[in-house]
Amino acid sequence: MTGGAGPAPEAADPAARRRRVWRVVGVLVAVLLLLAGAAYALLVSSLTALTGVQVSGADRTGPAAVEQAAADQLGLPLLRVDDTAVTQRVEQLPWVASARVERRFPHGLAVLVTEKVPVAAVPADGGAPGVVLLDHDGATITTADAAPEGVPLVQVDVAASGAAAVRAASAVALALPQDLRAQVASVTATGPDDVRLALRSGQEVRWGAPGDDDLKARVVALLLPREGVTRVDVSAPLAPATA
């Protein structure tokens, strides 16, 4: 009767087993050293240190203000840059609606800014010089010496017309569609039901009270281009009038 096969020579050789174990240990040590080196290079060394910030979309804010928001991150390895903190600081700048921060290896940080759009300018409080710029939600963006090009100025005599007239004129200015807003030089009101638009062309639109703004804008777009029209009344948009 033939006996079973004996153990493999290497398995029966303690020295061979030790050599195999040491080979495995050597491979593991090499992998760990590589990982440690990579971690050191990415998290500690200056190989990926932040050296510059690229800014886009900050036309009104200015690149310098955005760069300052990330200044304390300069010199840090990119993986340790606190992009959340940079984003929050940038979004606190007056003109910034939102910001996105992206790492650009090996040494850069890109900050992509979306700015607020001013849709109306109202006189500064208390008779102070300049105007306050409002976004489409009616929130204050910042102050300025004058209304920028294409932003209508709300001009209402509060003493003569009352605070309700100011609110009505502001509501109309904020509700204007972009194409019509760009044509408006100023928005006035003698009362909450008598808002008027003075256009840069010299034409005038009697808007009336706030409300039905989309319909009124469409009627204005149809009537204003007609030859000889200097004034359009859409206070009752289903029965408009021209002069």
Report strand pairing: 108-115 vs 204-208.
unpaired
Residue 129 in any domain: the answer is yes
- Is residue 55 predicted with pLDDT exceeding 70? yes
More confident residue, 108 or 42: 108
Cβ atoms within 10 Å of 234's Cβ, excluding its own: 24
Same domain assignment for residues 215 and 128? yes
Domain count, the chain: 3
Query: At which residue do the structure tokens 């840059």 appear?
Result: 81
Examine the fold and report which residue of 115, 133, 167 is the final residue of a domain before the chain moves on: 115
- Is residue 203 predicted with pLDDT exceeding 70? yes
The count of residues in the chain is 243
Same domain assignment for residues 146 and 206? yes
Same domain assignment for residues 180 and 194? yes
Residue 228 in any domain: the answer is yes
- Is residue 71 predicted with pLDDT exceeding 90? yes
Residue 44 in any domain: the answer is no
Same domain assignment for residues 153 and 108? no
pLDDT confidence of residue 36: 59
Residue 46 in any domain: the answer is no
Residue 7 in any domain: the answer is no
Same domain assignment for residues 141 and 192? yes
**Partners of 110 in beta bridges:** 54, 102
pLDDT confidence of residue 35: 67
Examine the fold and report which residue of 115, 142, 165 is the final residue of a domain before the chain moves on: 115
This model's pTM is above 0.75? no
Residue 42 in any domain: the answer is no
More confident residue, 233 or 5: 233
24: left (phi over 0), alpha (psi -120 to 50) or beta: alpha
Domain that holds residue 173: 120-242
pLDDT confidence of residue 39: 56
Q: How confident is the model at residue 33 (pLDDT cuts 50, 70, 90)?
A: low
First to last CA, the chain: 124
- Mean pLDDT on 88-117: 94
Domain CATH number, residue 138: 3.40.50
pLDDT tens track for 147-189: 988 899 998 887 788 889 888 999 999 999 999 999 999 999 9
Residue 55 and residue 38 in contact, taking contact as beta carbons nearer than 8 Å:
no
Same domain assignment for residues 146 and 232? yes
Residue 17 in any domain: the answer is yes
